[in-house]
């Protein structure tokens, strides 16, 4: 048996476009003499469809895509992921299914059993879990169909779930397993997937074909990396990350397991590629082309500009340099040097004349109170207004340059430097920004070295540095990581050896600034816990305040 794996970049709700990609992949698999082609979870409609699943028309159009494949299934068997209506009267209205098409018919449908409701997932909101598990026979082989999370409870050891679908099928003696997935990227997840698949192979002793989605859906990135694993625990092949790919495998070769091909898993390289894909797909799937951002001469905006150019092309990226009376001359020079090196359009718009007008207008309303953060925020909002004005006039979507450290502690101005259509670095800590910048410069200097080496500053008052208001980032970031990603309590973090006053101050800042994150743009997710749909905290809460 020859099995094709098709990891595709589909678009939520683009049924005609998705159908065309699936059919084209089927034809390629046929030309490669495959007997069966496997696609990813909910490939007909895109993942995650969220509340679109509450529209009967959306579900029907997904069904129509499946029906359009029936004729092709005379030439090749097809395993496709799609939502279907639950035929039972009890339970949720829908099932998340792997559908096996052969000979012009829906030969077998296996519903997903384990419905995740953590982090970005909310599947039990829509779907009813499977209560029946059977293998499907094809070309003399018994195939166990599973859907994504179904393989993440090996031996029923995951406390989130009471059942293990593969355990239920083992008495039917399957010869292989097909798993269709939409498994989101974070920088450690590729290795976690391999570890989970190896656990499955160790327990069930069958080859596994794991087909994953690729592409970005707003803030969520799918990295592909589909896996074919031999019964001996070797990774027969791990398909490319962040790109569409169709490959065909001979089942007997996989069973023999004499080859192992695994992708490199460099954290910073993976984050870089994920963000580039995130920007590219956000624009392409919304029908957008051009981006704009404020280029300050600092490291965050410099890195954002580089990533935007790599995603969209230099002709589609524009920047504004908006020095204030507190901006250093080298900041403007560094920003100009980067813009010229990248070949992007830049305009220099000093903000002091506008700020002077604000001061004159607001002076009578300020009642002779001394200058404070108000004046700093006015400058940030002037810059935001200028960027949004050019965005509106020319259709350039504003990219937000705030990093995760700043977003965590609220070190940003609402309707100023926190505005934008997409937060490029919102899931990248400041220390990781430095690592990414060095990675960008690994072959030659692209980001000016001065932008990397100078102390971080918003340059909104004389001699200002980030460290005036925050702990040094190499101290702050590990504390934030333990709280945000690892969900450690203040006391847990203190007991790890971190200074108590610093911990309590930092975590209080995180919690009191939740309201800012509610109004910030979507964040490209590259970690296991990003700000956005995967982290849901109340604004009005007493914890740590």
How far is 16 from 13, CA to CA, in rounded Å? 9
| Residues whose CB is less than 8 angstroms from the CB of residue 487 and which lie 6 or more positions away in sequence, other chains included | 529
Q: Where are the domains of the chain?
A: 2-265, 280-466
The single residue of 26, 45, 97, 148 carrying the catalytic annotation is: 148
* Stretch 238-258: mean pLDDT: 97
pTM: 0.95
**pLDDT score at 297:** 92
Q: In what order do the strands lie in the sheet with 397-400?
A: 345-348, 317-321, 291-294, 397-400, 422-423
Exposed/middle/buried for residue 70 (C-beta within 10 Å: 0-12, 13-18, 19+):
middle
Residue 223 has pLDDT above 70, yes or no: yes
Asked if 15 and 44 touch (Cβ cutoff 8 Å), the reply is yes
Q: What is the CA radius of gyration of the chain?
A: 26
Asked if 113 and 130 touch (Cβ cutoff 8 Å), the reply is yes
Per DSSP, helices labelled H in 86-188 are: 165-169
Segment 158-216, tens digit of pLDDT? 888 999 999 999 999 999 999 999 999 999 999 999 999 999 999 999 999 999 999 99
Nearest to 240 by CA among 263, 208, 267, 271: 263
Reported as a pLDDT band with limits 50, 70 and 90, residue 329 is low
What is the percentage of the chain residues whose pLDDT exceeds 70?
99
Instruction: Specify the range with the lowest mean pLDDT, choosing from 126-135, 158-167, 263-272.
Output: 158-167
DSSP 395-448: -PEEEE---HHHHHHT-S-TTTTT-SSEESSTTS-HHHHHHHHHHHTSSS--S-
Asked if 280 and 312 touch (Cβ cutoff 8 Å), the reply is yes
Say if residue 48 is preceded by a cis peptide, omega within 30 of 0. Answer: yes
What's the length of the chain? 545
Instruction: Give the CATH fold of the 280-466 domain.
Output: Rossmann fold (3.40.50)
- Is 265 part of the annotated catalytic residue set? no
**pLDDT score at 468:** 76
* Average pLDDT of the residues of the chain: 95
* Stretch 48-73: mean pLDDT: 98
The single residue of 19, 26, 41, 280 carrying the catalytic annotation is: 41
Packing angle, helices 299-312 and 329-342, rounded to 10? 10
Exposed/middle/buried for residue 364 (C-beta within 10 Å: 0-12, 13-18, 19+):
exposed
The single residue of 112, 280, 430, 516 carrying the catalytic annotation is: 112
Instruction: Specify the range with the lowest mean pLDDT, choosing from 25-34, 158-167, 234-243.
Output: 158-167
How far is 172 from 153, CA to CA, in rounded Å? 19
The CA–CA distances, whole Å, from 33 to 39, 104, 250, 279, 422 equal 17, 19, 10, 36, 43
* Stretch 406-416: mean pLDDT: 96
Segment 487-539, tens digit of pLDDT? 999 999 999 999 999 999 999 999 999 999 999 999 999 999 999 999 999 99
**pLDDT score at 72:** 98
Alpha carbon of residue 498 to chain centroid? 30
Asked if 97 and 111 touch (Cβ cutoff 8 Å), the reply is yes
**pLDDT score at 83:** 98
Segment 179-195, tens digit of pLDDT? 999 999 999 999 999 99
Phi/psi of residue 51, each to 5°?
A: -75, 0
Alpha carbon of residue 368 to chain centroid? 48
Which residues partner with 228 through β-bridges?
209, 237
How far is 373 from 331, CA to CA, in rounded Å? 22
Say if residue 395 is preceded by a cis peptide, omega within 30 of 0. Answer: no
CATH number of 2-265, picked from 3.40.50.2000, 2.40.30.260, 3.60.110.10, 3.30.420.10? 3.60.110.10
Residue 465 has pLDDT above 80, yes or no: no
In degrees, rounded to 5, the angle at the alpha carbon of residue 492 between the alpha carbons of residues 490 and 498 is 75
How far is 360 from 539, CA to CA, in rounded Å? 35
- Is 41 part of the annotated catalytic residue set? yes
Asked if 185 and 215 touch (Cβ cutoff 8 Å), the reply is no
- Is 168 part of the annotated catalytic residue set? no
Reported as a pLDDT band with limits 50, 70 and 90, residue 155 is confident
Residue 260 has pLDDT above 80, yes or no: yes
Alpha carbon of residue 121 to chain centroid? 13
Report which DSSP code applies to 532.
B
**pLDDT score at 542:** 82
Instruction: Specify the range with the lowest mean pLDDT, choosing from 13-17, 89-93, 268-272, 346-350.
Output: 89-93
Three-state DSSP at 106 gives: strand
**pLDDT score at 331:** 84
Asked if 505 and 408 touch (Cβ cutoff 8 Å), the reply is no
Reported as a pLDDT band with limits 50, 70 and 90, residue 456 is confident
Reported as a pLDDT band with limits 50, 70 and 90, residue 52 is very high
Reported as a pLDDT band with limits 50, 70 and 90, residue 545 is low
């Amino acid at each position: 048996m020859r099995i094709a794996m098709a990891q595709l970049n589909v678009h939520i709700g683009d049924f005609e476009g998705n159908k065309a990609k699936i059919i084209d992949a089927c034809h390629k698999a046929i030309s490669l003499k495959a007997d069966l082609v496997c696609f990813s979870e909910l490939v007909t409609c895109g993942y995650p469809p969220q509340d679109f699943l509450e529209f009967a028309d959306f579900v029907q159009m997904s069904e129509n895509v499946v029906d359009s494949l029936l004729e092709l299934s005379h030439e090749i068997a097809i395993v496709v992921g799609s939502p279907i209506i639950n035929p039972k009267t009890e339970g949720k209205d829908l099932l998340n299914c792997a559908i096996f098409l052969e000979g012009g018919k829906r030969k077998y449908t296996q519903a997903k059993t384990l419905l995740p409701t953590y982090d970005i997932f909310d599947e039990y909101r829509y779907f009813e879990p499977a209560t029946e598990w059977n293998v499907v026979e094809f070309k003399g082989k018994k195939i166990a169909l599973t859907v994504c999370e179904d393989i993440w409870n090996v031996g029923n050891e995951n406390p989130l779930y009471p059942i293990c679908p593969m355990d239920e099928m083992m008495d039917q003696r399957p010869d292989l397993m097909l798993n269709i997935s939409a498994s989101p990227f974070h920088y450690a997840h590729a290795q976690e997937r391999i570890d989970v698949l190896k656990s499955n192979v160790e327990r069930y002793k069958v080859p596994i074909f794991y087909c994953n989605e690729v592409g970005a859906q707003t803030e969520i990135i799918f990295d592909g990396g589909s896996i074919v694993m031999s019964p001996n625990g070797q990774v027969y092949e791990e398909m490319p990350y962040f790109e569409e790919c169709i490959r065909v495998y001979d089942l007997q070769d996989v069973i023999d397991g004499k080859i192992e091909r695994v992708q490199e898993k460099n954290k910073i390289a993976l984050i870089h590629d994920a963000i580039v894909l995130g920007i590219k797909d956000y624009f392409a799937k919304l029908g957008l082309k051009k981006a704009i951002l404020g280029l300050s001469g600092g490291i965050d905006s410099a890195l954002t500009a580089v990533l935007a150019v790599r995603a969209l092309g230099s002709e589609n990226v524009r920047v504004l340099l908006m020095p204030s009376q507190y901006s250093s001359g080298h900041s403007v020079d560094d920003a100009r040097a980067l813009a010229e090196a990248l070949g992007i359009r830049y305009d220099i718009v000093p903000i002091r004349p506008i700020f002077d007008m604000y001061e004159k207008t607001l002076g009578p309303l300020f009642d002779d109170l001394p200058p404070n953060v108000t004046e700093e925020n006015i400058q940030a909002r002037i810059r935001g207004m200028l960027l949004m004005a050019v965005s509106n006039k020319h259709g350039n979507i504003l990219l937000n340059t705030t990093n995760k450290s700043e977003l965590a502690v609220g070190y940003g101005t609402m309707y100023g430097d926190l505005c934008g259509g997409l937060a490029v670095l919102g899931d990248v800590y400041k220390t990781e920004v430095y690592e990414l910048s060095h990675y960008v410069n690994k072959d030659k200097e692209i980001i000016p070295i001065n932008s990397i080496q100078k102390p971080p500053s918003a340059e909104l008052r004389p001699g200002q540095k980030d460290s005036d208001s925050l702990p040094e980032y190499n101290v702050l970031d590990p504390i934030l990581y333990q709280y945000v990603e690892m969900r450690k309590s203040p006391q847990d973090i203190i007991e790890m050896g971190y200074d108590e006053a610093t911990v309590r101050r930092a975590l209080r800042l995180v919690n009191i600034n939740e309201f800012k994150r509610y109004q910030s743009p979507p964040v490209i997710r590259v970690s296991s816990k990003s700000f956005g749909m995967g982290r849901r905290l109340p604004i009005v809460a007493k914890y740590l305040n």
